[in-house]
Structure 1
Amino acid sequence: MRPLARIAIPLSLLAATLGLTACGGGGSSTSQVDRVEVEASHTPIIATDTQQVTVTAEADTDANEFWTFLFVDGSLEEICDSQASCSVTVGPLSSSPVSSTSTGRPVNYQAILLPINYDQCALSPCNAEDVNTFGVTDGTYTYQANSGNYIPALSHAPSSDAVDVVFHMASGSDEYTTGSDLTRAFINDVEDKIYEEYGRQAIIREHLDDFNFWVYTVPASTNDCGTPDSSISSNMPFRDADAVLHVQTFGDCSKGSRFTAEGHDTKAFLHESGHGVFNMADEYDGPTYYFEPDNEPNIFDTESNCTTEQNNKGRSTSACSQFTSRQGGWYKIHTGRTVMSWGDTGDAWDTEGEEHMNWFFNNL
């Protein structure tokens, strides 16, 4: 477990700062507030001490009027009035911790959404917040804030309550680098995987705050479906999955909770995440290894298992069909292209896949 520091900001202080009360004021009153949510993000995903950082909060509320507060590194940096999207650019931020000669430090930021001018609120308290952490490093991505060679990219929650995914940079000829230092291209690819692939899958985006994303500073090998440096076993025993990103184009695979994917491509990362993170099986006919997941399976090793599942869910059993004769034959109900049959960002998980994903997040 790696606990995250939180920024304690009394809402009464925020209101006093603006000379307002949560239920007061004029303007367009909301009779009842039923939904108050806010999602915060930042870019670049890991910042050097020469880069500015942009923090953005996306509001989701039925309140007609609300305030959005953005705090970065302990300071109130922006206040937005009833805007669906609120952002601020700060920095460059220092990579030197206070009272320390080391390099690299974690930075917290916080978005608070506070409805105003309403008659009733179905929520208690009637506000929402999102607190995240990322790392600031020097120009070579040196990070000495811990002894474990890992940098927070987007951390939301204690590891006991979250899915910890670690990104590793492949090194070697024709890869990101032949050296040992992380590269900007690799960090950019990590950001793309988090925001543009996971973040564009609705079911994952809805649960993005159930993830912690990290970058390991020691390069990895692409051999054997991705082989992290051996030091990670003692440095990050709390991790759940290892993703090794590479530059070369070749067939990717997963082995247990580790997998490989092209940094610049979209298909492999999402599909291999289905294996390495979510423990789902392939849904295509090909030279792979099929298995029936223990909970909410997306494929079935017998037609009977498939029809029993459909009966239990009140669905027609006619959708069950054999999609491959390999390994004695396997069955599914999906007919179109899915994440586990292909894996592009816009592909669906389909019925069984969605049920498995919902089970996964409900049982964290």
Structure 2
Amino acid sequence: MKKLLAMLLAVTMVAGLALTGCGDSKDEGNSGGDAKEGAIKSVGFICGNLGDKSFNDISYEGVKSAGEKLGITYKAVEYGTDKSKMEPTLLDSADAYDMIIFSGNEFLEILERHADEWPNTKFVCFDIEPGTEIKMSNVFAITFRQCESDYLAGVFAITLSDTKTVGFVGGMEAPVINDFLVGFIEGVQRADANGKVAMVYNGSYTDAPKAKEFSLMMVNNNNADVLHQVAGGAGLGVFQACQEKKIWGIGVDADQYEFFKDEKPEIAAVIITSAEKRVNVALETAITDTYNGTATYYGTREDWGVEKGVADLAENDYYQQNAPQECKDAVAAAREDIKSGKVKVTTGYGMAQDELNKRRDSVKP
């Protein structure tokens, strides 16, 4: 797998051939001969599938934005749900692009097995677990403090709630989901020491009907009147339950109101805000810095959160029109406390199971 050194047009042609059978390469931007002179001329974004209206889509928005502004080629390479395709997709993509972007420690481990094959290629990996050691000088890893955005979501949800019981639907019981959950619980307890959180793990990031069923149970059995989904594509079921019960929902990762408002306006109507993990901002920053030759963070891993502008609560026009002022004020105060260092939100990563259970039990309805 030697790095292909060729003109941009040749790179694009080779990419189309190399990726056949390993991933679905979607060419959303090809600047051809109009590319500016920079440290990179092409970016490959590897993901399972686009179209989730959440994590993958918002990530690719950052790639597209950077590509369009800088005049460089960018593509999404989808490997689907078959994990056996992860390694060949990464290897073929690394041959075809100057910069590769992917999420998760599993891809990082694959890359480390081929550490010496692309010394001149830049790799940006995001959603990486805290404490991960970066062993390659051409790799930059981002750990998102999603616990901070969910802290804000918890403050907002319990302040908005009339019953003082809110719901949390996680996709799987996994470290990243528990990081959201721990932040959410701390936010709830900040705003109301007696606030309750009904919670469930859906067991899937794609099974929306199951998520809807769980959501309805939380409303009917626990009297939850604000539901927060952290379940990827399965979150649609949470919003459908909110629609049926005429209660508010809180999205995740992307500003999900904006994603749904044209395609599914009836779903958008229940999404008052979203706990944003602004991967788009992070990836656009990393691509731009790399292109400009100003990225000094390769070979390291950094934590990016509220202070960096990549973890926050969506405050679009719909939020401004529908959120009570009391909720807005509570969120603003919580945000400033994080920025100033007055509040350090606890991460769920590395938390002992006994401690996690204690926190979950402390807010059970």
Normalising by structure 2, report the TM-score: 0.27
Give the number of the structure whose alpha-carbon radius of gyration is greater: 1
The structure in which a higher percent of residues are strand is 1
Structure scoring higher RCO (CA < 8 A, sep ≥ 6) equals 2
The structure in which a higher percent of residues are helix is 2
Normalising by structure 1, report the TM-score: 0.27
